[in-house]
Amino acid sequence: MSNPARAESLEQLERLVAALMTKGVVSEAELAAQQASTDRASPEIGARMVARAWLDPAWRAMMLKNGTEAVEALGVSMAGAPPLGVLEDTARRHHVIVCTLCSCYPRAVLGYPPHWYKSFSYRSRVVREPRMVMAEWGSPVPDDIELRVVDSTADYRWMVLPMRPAGTEGWSEDQLAALITRDVLVGVALPKLPA
């Protein structure tokens, strides 16, 4: 649940920013530019990577070997970001990502982490009862599929490369990318064809 910041926190932030500006550490323009750059990152980048991997075996191999390189090939800078790994789902295994310690998240390909990803309940539950969490959210995973929960850390971030759904033969990259949501890239949902 997202609660608004308290007035004292807003004041605390502005006092800190003012002190840092006085010392020449940051400027208002730099803060605005940084925020604009974070606002631009969205799950569309991760969706594009996955759609291409479903269509192009060479791209798929490159992305599995080095996720960071794949992101940069799409024109998104990963400068200063931790390395990105890609977890490949198979017919027998599905992956889910969590940051149990806090909120490490592949921001470059997904944007800001949503509140639930940072929540105490998601962080504690998904490592113990991932099937229940996924079922509650409408993506039950069959019992014969192994579910592997992977911890994202300050040093290494992950995204999921899901299985391409049946019934999408002959689809274009754009059509496929439209199936891939942020939740699919985190692994808490599976790609679904439009009804």
Partner 1 sequence: MSDTEHPTEHTPAIHDIGGIQRFHCTPVEYDEEPPDAFGKRVDALRQLLARKGYMTVDELRRGIESIPEPEYFALTYYERWLRSIELLMVEKGVVTKEELT
Could you give phi then psi for residue 51, rounded to 5 degrees?
A: -60, -40
102 is catalytic: yes
Containing 136, the helix (H) or strand (E) segment is: helix 130-136
Site for partner 1, rule CB under 8 A: 1-6, 9-10, 12-13, 15-17, 19-20, 22-23, 25-26, 30-32, 34-35, 38-39, 80, 82, 98, 100-104, 112, 114-116, 118-129, 133, 136-137, 151, 154
What is the C-alpha to C-alpha distance for residues 38 and 148, in angstroms, rounded to an integer? 29
Tell me the closest approach of the beta carbon of residue 185 to partner 1, in angstroms: 15
103 is catalytic: yes
Q: Which of 80, 88, 84, 86 is nearest to 156 (CA)?
A: 84
- How many angstroms separate the Cα of 85 from the Cα of each of 64, 88, 112, 153? 7, 10, 18, 11
Rank residues 5 and 61 by Cβ distance to partner 1 and give the closer one: 5
**How many residues in total does the chain contain?**
195
Tell me the closest approach of the beta carbon of residue 171 to partner 1, in angstroms: 27
Tell me the closest approach of the beta carbon of residue 14 to partner 1, in angstroms: 9
2 is catalytic: no
Q: Which residues are annotated as catalytic?
A: 99, 102-104
